[in-house]
Structure 1
Amino acid sequence: MELATKRKPDSKADLRALVNGQYVGDAHALIDKVAADLLAGVLARLKAKSGAEAKAGLVSIATRKEVASRLADWLIKDNEHAGGAGASRLPVARWSPEEVIGRTGMSKSTLYRGDHTQFYSVVPIGKKNGRAYPVWQFVGDVPSHLPALLQILQGNSRIQVNTFFMSEQDALNELSPAEVLAGMPFEDREHVAPEQTRMLSLPVKQRLAKISTLARMEAAGSE
């Protein structure tokens, strides 16, 4: 039997995942851990000072800058996210697990725990096994809405899940559920008709309701 090895928790990566809406652990426990780590660093610097000096140091500008600097180091990524608020087209690429970790900041354990509950993977093209993650599911506010849909589709295989999200639907004006969920067309769509633009411009609650209805029909059909 293969023995499981303990992985050292990566608070930085998990905190970035929490900010991105992709952390699947206990959020409050993570925040407590981050707060403890930050305070430990500040207190270690003040330990050698007298009581009055230490108290003053805790509210000093230098201390606030130190905490802000550490938070910035933990949260701000050099890598660009899959798509920000200014994105207008949905990517069609797929990321390897390493690319997801590098670009979103989530840890490997968070990524694998969240597979098929927070996001989904497919088998890489040309391979019999492995994982590749369609990039569209990491764009904009998709990560905050996708889990509810995956809950509906939990009985479907990952091939079926991907086919559902990527296939154009009559009920969505010939748009795919992925496009409607994100509120933007895929980058390889040559033309967006006026009725499709109106569909993509609907409030997110209405778009999510339409996709949820289709997801329930899909789940019922696979039983």
Structure 2
Amino acid sequence: MELTTKRNKGVTKTDLLALVVGQYSGDPAMLLDRVAQDLLKGVSDGLRTSLAKKDKELLASEATREAVAASLAEMLLGDGVPEPQETQSLPVSRWSPEEVLKHTGMSKSTLYRGDHTKFYSVIPPTMQNGRAYPAWQFVGDVPSHLPKVLEVLNRKSRIQVNSFFVSERDALNELSPAEVLAGLPFEDRGAIAPEQSRMLSLPEKVRQDKVIALAALEVADPD
């Protein structure tokens, strides 16, 4: 029992000092054994405390990241951020050259070089010259389809080109070539008949081919 009690007793500074000066009355080996055990216990306790602290910090960091991610998701997907709205109709307005540059970001030289090949212009109302650009031709995928139609109509005047695109055609279920090319009705059109809706829902290539075929007939017609 006495040995066990001494073994469980903590090492004091007095014991260590006595051991160093050679005046320790007990067993030096047992004292050193207790010192080693105390050191190991201290190191072990310190490691456990340090690891526990780091685990808490890690958990807190993960919780913070999750909270930030949740906030971002709510901000981006929540009611406070409007979702982009798809265009449901074609505008009937006309843009000035300055408005085209503002809306499309193209340069002035690109705008004038592309007139009648990539898009077309008309003479502004109440004016004898100048340029105004029907806004419908800059909607959605129209800019990628329009050049092929304009290539067919290249011998037609600006007035004739515009008249072709905005006039209703029997072959298109009383829709205009502009509407069929875009797959959208003009904003001032009333109710859409079922057969017109089906025409507007055709694949892009099919709609483009229909408009190009009509353009070819327009050019072939001597009137």
Q: Normalising by the residue count of structure 2, what TM-score does the alignment of the two structures yield?
A: 0.61
Q: Which residues in structure 2 correspond to 1:3-152 (within 5 Å)?
A: 86-152=86-152
Task: Report deviation, 1:222.
Answer: 4.3
Report the AA paired with residue 93 of structure 1: S
d(CA) in 2 for partners of 1:170 and 1:117?
26
Q: Which residues in structure 2 correspond to 1:139-218 (within 5 Å)?
A: 139-218=139-218
Alignment root-mean-square deviation, CA = 1.2
Task: Report deviation, 1:202.
Answer: 0.2
Q: After superposition, what is the alpha-carbon deviation per residue over 1:89-118, rounded to whole angstroms, capped at 9, x for unaligned?
A: 110000000000011000000000000000
Q: Any idea what SS the aligned residue of 2:146 has?
A: helix
Q: Any idea what SS the aligned residue of 2:202 has?
A: coil
Q: Which has the higher helix share?
A: 2
Structure 2: 5+ residue stretches without partners = 1-83
Contact 1:85 1:140 survives alignment (8 Å): no
**Which of structure 1's runs of 4+ aligned residues deviate more than 6 A?**
none
Report the AA paired with residue 203 of structure 1: P
Quickly say closer, same or farther: Cα 1:167–1:136, change in 2 above 3 A. same
Structure 1: 5+ residue stretches without partners = 1-83
The residue number in structure 1 matching 2:34 is: none
Contact 1:124 1:132 survives alignment (8 Å): yes
Report the AA paired with residue 201 of structure 1: S
RCO higher in structure (CA 8 A, sep ≥6): 1
Q: Normalising by the residue count of structure 1, what TM-score does the alignment of the two structures yield?
A: 0.61
Percent identity, aligned pairs only, is 68
Mark the structure with the bigger radius of gyration.
2
Q: After superposition, what is the alpha-carbon deviation per residue over 1:6-39, rounded to whole angstroms, capped at 9, x for unaligned?
A: xxxxxxxxxxxxxxxxxxxxxxxxxxxxxxxxxx
d(CA) in 1 for partners of 2:220 and 2:115?
22
